[in-house]
Every structure is written in structure tokens, then in C-alpha cells.
Chains A and B, each alone.
Chain A
Amino acid sequence: MLSCYNPPAVETDDTTLVTRLRSGERAAFAPLVERYAGRVARLCQGIVRNPAVAEELAQDSFLKAWRGLAGLHDPARFAGWLLGIARNRCLDWLRQQQRGAGDVLPLPDGAPPPDPRRRPASEVLRLESDEQVRRAVDALPAIYREVIELRYYAQAGYREMAQALSLSEAGVNQRLTRARARLRQALERQEAQR
């Protein structure tokens, strides 16, 4: 009779993977990258609004996480910690852009170009509406903007947001509620002005 061999279940939760990585198992980082690369890239894209820049910043975020892994005291908080790194990385980039910190060679004007493709009227209206929302997000105070960005761009849950922002989950809920309320008020004002 053939005997059945049941391999032991592979532990792939963040805590286990981070612990294995710390014990010298380099390959343990790959599942974490697979798991979070999309969310980190979307968060970066939402903040900087440029796919190429976002990808570069997402890569940088993972690099920074790798180098700074010793600073993560609780491996269970990896997701929130990583999203926090990514958001800070994006904010640094935006600040540098605003300061005009130059490259070795300054970029020429007008790049990258706007998308020249024509769109149907209904889509134009929808895009305008979406743009209004994004402008309203940009106008929020930083403490409210960050919860909106983590919630909608990175699809972060309250627990991850709490980890990323060093808040309690109740604190996240409160801040997100207030951020949404401000956002809705801003959109109502915009509607009233049209």
C-alpha cells in the first residue's frame, strides 16, 4: 500500500516571512514583494500621479524596507510599516519636486505630454467629476489626506492604516470619517459654484 505523505503547511503570513528573512532566508522576501508590490505601486501612483515615477518610488520603498528591516520591531506590522515607508517616500519626492531640486541635467519643458486621445462626452464629464474629487483630496490637510490615500490608493484596512500612521484603529476610523466629511463638504461647495 502506498503511504501518503502530507507536506507540512507552509507558513506564509507576514510575521513568519519577516522572521525567516531575518534569520537569513533571502527568498522569504519574494512572497512579501508579490503580496504588496501592487498596493505599494497604486499608493505611489495615487500620490504622485505618474506611472513611471510611481514604479520607481515603489521599488525604492521596497529597497528602503529591506535595508531598514531591523527597525521593524513587530513583524506583524509589516504591511502598515511598508505602506508608511512608501507614502513617506512619495512625499519626499513631491517636496523635492516643489523645491525644484535639480537633476544633473534639468528636464526639458513640457514632459511628459498629456494624453491627446479624444474621449466621448459622458466620459469627459465623469473624468471631470473624478478630477474634482482628486483636487478636493489634494486640498485636504495632511492628516486627513494621508488616511484617504492609504484607504483608497493602497486599499489599506484600518489595522494597516493604524500601523502606518501609529494610531489606534478607533483613531483611524475617526480621522477617516472626518476626512470624508471634509471631502464631501468640499465637493458640495464645488457643485454649488457650478
Chain B
Amino acid sequence: MKPDEQWEQEAGRYADGEMAVAERREFEAQLASDPAAQRRWDVLRHDLQRIERALSPTSSPDEGLPARILERLAREPLPRPTAARRWPWLALPLAAAAGYIVAWLARPPAPAPRPPEKVIVYRDPPAGLVPLGRLALATGALEHRAPDTRRWEAAVPGAPIFAGSKLRTPAGRRAEITLADGSEIRLNQSSTLACVARRKLFLEQGELWSHVARAAGGEAFDVGTRHGAVRVVGTEINLAVDEAETRLVVLNGKALLRDRQGREVAVAERQASRIRDGRVFDPHRVHLLERTTNWTAELLYIKGRDHPELQRKVDNLLALIGATKMEHLTEREIRSLGHTCALPLARYIDAQSASGESVVQQRRRTAARILADVADAATLPDLVELIADPDTRVREQAARGFCRLWGVETQGRAGEIALWRDGTQAARERRRAELRRAVGQRSR
């Protein structure tokens, strides 16, 4: 190695802060005692400073970057553990053993019990029976037990519900029942509901949401459970029952919750109460009310991806951003709606002014970030329109969502996002026209 290079290596380590204290002192003493070395160091330091300044980043990375990375990783399975290689000779016998195990596990399974196939649709109701309502909507086949029978059979939307009928939703299936008086009942998965009589229900297990229509004669609307009963005075409740307790949330109006000893509490709007260990508890305020009924989103989506109730739900959740310290929970709530909230999010972004107050801007950006992750293919045209949004952050997120749905490879994705975010208005308009055509052709 040349002596010059050796000196420059030392000087470089000094400049880079890679020397130990003693070594630094030695180098500084050398500079102090050797004017030629000091001059040489001054020139080198000047050049290194110029390089450093030129290569320093002109802008800091976005503060939200770690959060976005973690969001992306949240969908990833955990990394595989490092494979141990201490006994490589074990690999062959282990592989053989694994083969036997796989073969054993892959043997043909025992035949599963067949699901009920008969569909209950009483086109001509049995004499004397007047339907209390009908099954209006379902996310899949449900089970119905007709009055005075012990057999569960499949039911599809349109099936009438009689006094004495029971409806059961398997895991992953939800349903909506419309009663003759105009009341609506939504039934969550793994629930069993008995229709006892007009405006009298019994929730054996699971969860229901109910919007109760007012009866002309002031007739009460009651739902019984194994722990007590609820009388709906107002219009909208959510009720959940499991072995341990009954939980009531009043979303609108008022309800009375009564335990089996006859103790009763009045539960007002935005309040919750429960019956546990045989007694009813005092009501308390519910902060994230929308969370209570997130499970109904799938049903609303079936009614229409632009269903106003779905829009209202998303709008209400977004309104909490900037108004609560638990914004991450709010965002999580919106995300839990999955693709069903995509169109409401796109509409929210469109409806709110980008030049409005900062909290609105924050909400729009949050909406765009969620939209980028949850949007489904049906939202592609809405995403394309966001290329014209005045807010660069919103455009960037919309581009991310578009690329994900369009299947753009990573390399193309970066360019596409750059155009949406930094492109001139004219360039973005041209791109919008292209993408509108492309999305239209694909959907055909």
C-alpha cells in the first residue's frame, strides 16, 4: 500500500468518527506537530465536506413511513424460524419419516355429514299460520326449523318465518329478517333466534341487531335471553348472548334490560349494560359505538356497495379522527369493515374539500391510506378518479391501491405512483383518460 493511501485511510477513519479516543488523540497530535500534514488534512476535509453536503438528503423521509411499512407487514405471516443445521445427517431419516406422516395425514377422510339440502319456502303457508316476517337477506345458506318440528333444514332468502320458527346461522353466515310490522333484525354468525310471537323474540345464542318499528297500539318489542330480557323502547339495539352473559348496546333511543330476579335498568342511547352472574349492571357510555355493529357491514354490502347505512357508518368513524386520542383504534375499526368500506371511503374523499381545515385533510389522507389497502376490484374506477385529487398524499395512496388491484409489478408500481403523486396536472389528466379506458375494457 502506498504511504499516501495509508495516511488517507487514517484520515478517513478520523473524519468518519471510526477511531477510538486514544487513536484520535494521536492523530490530532500528529496534525498539530506537522504543518504539512495539517495542510493536507485541511484540503481533504474541505473535499469531504463538499461530498457530504452534495450527497446529504434534501428532504427527510415521510414520518408516516414506519407506520406504512408495519401496515404492509401486518398482512404477512410470521417469518420462518432459522433452520437448525446441527445434525445434517438427520435430514434423510427425518424426511422419510415426514413422508410417512404426510401420507398418513393425506389418507381419504371419513365422509362428513351432508348439509341439509331441502329448502323451506312455504309458497302456500299451512292453514292457520300467518307469517311474522321473512328471511330477507343472507350471506349464505342458513338453517331453519319450522314450528312443531325438530328437524333443521336449509333456508334461503324469501323463506317466511312463523311463530315458533327458529333460525340458525352457521359460522361465517349472517342474515337479515324483515318482520311484518316493518322491524328489521340482523343476525350475526353462529346465532340461534326463536320467533316466539309477534314482536317477541328469543335469542338463544349469538348476536342480533334490531331496528324496531313503532307499533300502532304501542305494543312492546321484547327479546328474551337465557339471562333475562330486553324491551326496546327506542329504535335500535345490538344484543349479544353467550353462556356467561347478555350484553346490550343501545344505538338509538332507549331500552330496558331486566334480569331474572326482575331488577331492571334503563339503558339510554350510546349506553351499554349487561346481565352477568344473575344480576343486571348499571349502564355505561360506549365510546366507539360504530364498532358494535361492524359485523353487519357484509349484509349492507350485499344490499349495495353504496348503501347509505354503510356510508354513514364510515363517515361517523372518520369523524372520530382528530376528535379522539385513540385514532389508531378508529382506523382499525374502519379497516375491519374490509372491502365493504371501499366505496364509502372513496366517496368521503371526493365529498370533503382537500383545501379544508387540517383535520379534514388528515381524515381524507387516512381514508385514502385505508382505501389503498382494502379496495376491491369494483373500486378501480373510483381510484382512477383520485389521480386528479389536489392532495399529493391522497393521490399517492390511491396510486398504491390502484397498482395493487391492477397487478402492477413492483418496478412499474414505483413509476406509476411517482406519476400520480408528482406528475403535472396535464400528465395526470392524460393518464386518467388512459386508465379509464383500460379499466373499462377490463371490466367488460
Contact = CB atoms under 8 A, between A and B. Distances in A.
Please give me the 3 A-B residue pairs with the lowest Cβ-Cβ distance, nearest first. Answer: A103-B412, A112-B422, A133-B54
B166 interface: no
A42 interface: yes
B414 A53 contact: yes
Given A105-B438, A111-B418, A46 B54 contact: no
Interface string A113-134: 1000000000000000111111
B72 A176 contact: no
Given A67-B79, A111-B418, A187 B57 contact: no
Interface string B43-71: 00001101111111101111001101110
Contacts of A68: 79
B365 to A, nearest CB: 15
B94 interface: no
Given A33-B70, A105-B435, A51 B59 contact: yes
Contact of A112 (B56, B78, B80, B419): B419
B422 A107 contact: no
Interface stretch (B23-31, B231-239, B300-308, B424-432): B424-432
B407 to A, nearest CB: 7
A66 B80 contact: no
Interface string A133-159: 110010000000000100111000110
B51 A152 contact: yes
> Looking at chain B's contact residues, is the secondary structure mostly helix, strand, loop, or mixed?
helix
A18 to B, nearest CB: 10
B285 interface: no
B410 A60 contact: yes
Contact of A63 (B5, B59, B76, B416): B76
B423 A104 contact: no
A37 interface: yes
A107 B69 contact: no
B22 interface: no
B9 interface: yes
B69 A33 contact: yes
Nearest to B424: A113
Interface stretch (B10-18, B142-150, B156-164, B335-343): B10-18
B406 to A, nearest CB: 6
Interface residues of A, number: 75
Contacts of B406: 104
Contact of B51 (A23, A33, A133): A133
Nearest to A184: B47
A99 to B, nearest CB: 9
24 contacts: A41-B62, A51-B59, A52-B396, A54-B61, A58-B61, A62-B69, A66-B73, A67-B76, A70-B82, A70-B83, A97-B411, A105-B434, A107-B415, A111-B431, A112-B424, A112-B427, A134-B54, A148-B51, A148-B55, A169-B18, A180-B47, A183-B51, A184-B47, A187-B47
B76 A69 contact: no
B66 A37 contact: yes
Given A33-B66, A59-B72, A110-B427, A173 B13 contact: yes
Q: Is the interface of A mostly helix, strand, loop or mixed?
A: helix
B60 A38 contact: yes
Interface in B70-99: 70, 72-73, 76, 78-83
Contacts of A132: 54
Given A103-B409, A148-B55, A157-B18, 17 more contacts: A30-B70, A37-B61, A58-B61, A59-B65, A62-B73, A93-B414, A104-B438, A108-B431, A111-B418, A111-B427, A112-B421, A112-B424, A133-B50, A133-B54, A157-B16, A173-B9, A174-B1
A110 B73 CA distance: 33
B55 A134 contact: yes
Contacts of A46: 55, 57
B79 A55 contact: no
Nearest to B422: A112
B291 interface: no
Contacts of A41: 61-62, 65
A167 interface: no
Contacts of A42: 57, 61
